[in-house]
Amino acid sequence: MGDNVDMRNWSIRDNNITQTNWQTEVNFSNISFWNNLRRGTVIVLYNRIINPVGTLYNIDSNKNDGYIQLTLQTIGLFNGGAFGTAPAWGGSTMEIAGLGDLIQLRDASGTHIHAIGHRSTAGADFTSIIGSKMNHSAASANGMSTFACPSRRLADFNGPSGIAFASMNTSFTRGLPNTCSAAGQNKIFFDS
């Protein structure tokens, strides 16, 4: 990928606990906002409008600084998905299951870009993906993050298991380089 990435009509979707069934995808709308993204832009996506403590997530839609933070239910920026409503929610789209799940990003033609998952034994949908993917080989508790660590090179973001690392450390910042003492630091990749 280079500068001026065009993510119009791309899609993001998640799987089920066993990584064997895709849920309803969310599409990036065909609008100019998703065109001409800078290389390396960090995109943080929340599956709900309201956070666990009942307040609205902070939205950062200024793409000029290389970081945006949005909800997948932002009308106009996204379309599709099967979302429930508060307080029970109940939708299947991007409801990340603790015992296992898988998230995949695809371009406008449906071609695989990247996938990241967690499950003790990777499921059939994970193993059938050809290309860049990672799976953390364990369950994920509420509040945990899954990320590549130590990620000293691009190849660390493409492996069946072992490289992905999960943590509940609240000092980690979404979308920014972090140090994870148990496995090194993903900061090394960003600083390279």
pLDDT digits (tens, 9 = 90+) for 80-136: 998 876 555 567 888 888 899 999 999 999 999 989 888 889 999 999 998 888 888
What's the CA gap between 21 and 16, in Å, rounded? 6
Residue type, 37: L
| Average pLDDT of span 60-66 | 88
pLDDT of residue 167: 52
- Supply φ then ψ for residue 26, to 5 degrees: -115, 135
Res 75: pLDDT: 87
Question: Is the confidence at residue 192, as pLDDT, over 60?
Answer: no
Token duo for residue 33:
């906002």
| Mean local confidence (pLDDT), 76-80 | 95
Each residue of 5-52: pLDDT tens digit?
999 999 999 999 999 999 999 999 999 999 989 877 888 898 888 877
Residue of higher predicted confidence among 177 and 65: 65
- Name the more confident of 66 and 28: 28
Predicted structure pTM score: 0.83
Q: Could you tell me the residue ranges of all domains in the chain?
A: 11-191
pLDDT tens per residue, range 129-183 = 988 888 888 888 776 667 666 556 666 666 654 455 555 455 556 666 655 555 4
